[in-house]
Amino acid sequence: MEDQFDSLRRDFAMGGLSLNRLDADPIKQTEQWLQEAIASKQPEPNAMALATAGPSGVPHSRIVLLKDIYSGGLVFYTNYESDKGEEIALCPNVALLFFWPMLERQIRIEGIAEKLPAEVSDLYFASRPRASQIGAWASAQSRVVANYEFLEKNYAEVTREFEGAQVPRPEHWGGYIIKPRKFEFWQGRPGRLHQRYRYTHTDNAWQIETLAP
């Protein structure tokens, strides 16, 4: 197995990053890298790993999709009664990770997760495909079910219930905004001399530091 992993090793040589090319605002820098990831045809460029912690302090992570950058924060949507929703309710400190291997880049973000206003979640839910709207009602996310057929039956029942009518947003489903307090931008470089720049928010301003790889 070790030999198989060793064969995957490669050097990083896509590009460089310097302080004078970084935006003073990490949100704007994130938007720039997202646009470049989209332009590069990166698969799922808005996918980000979200890490939360349960009451025991054990961390959990999963991939969610960034849906907006709103009021200085990063937005995703989910079931509030899911594992991540329950963990955020107990501990709103979360971490995000974007990774774009085609560009040899990643962004680490730490911040506080808060529920979006209901009217914002309503607008987004109304824009979703009808099948996804029905799925939000049919699936009690993260709960144990007897089998997959049980989910299909629920989906069919919800489909019949809302036939010929708009599907409203369930109260247990909506958005979170992550208000960031720390960013780290990472650019792969040859010889593993990667470039790392950390933004921290102090005294109502963002400070940028260079980190050793």
Minimal CA–CA distance to 172: which of 112, 84, 93, 56?
84
**Contact, 168 vs 123, CB < 8 A?**
no
In three-state secondary structure terms, 207 is strand
Task: Tell me the one-letter amino acid at 203.
Answer: D
Active-site hit among 9, 192, 196, 198: 192
Residues 182, 11, 38, 120: is their CA dihedral positive or negative?
negative
Is 192 annotated as catalytic?
yes
Q: Which tokens is 73 given?
A: 């924060």
Rounded Cα distance, 134 and 165, in Å:
12
Enumerate the active-site residues.
192
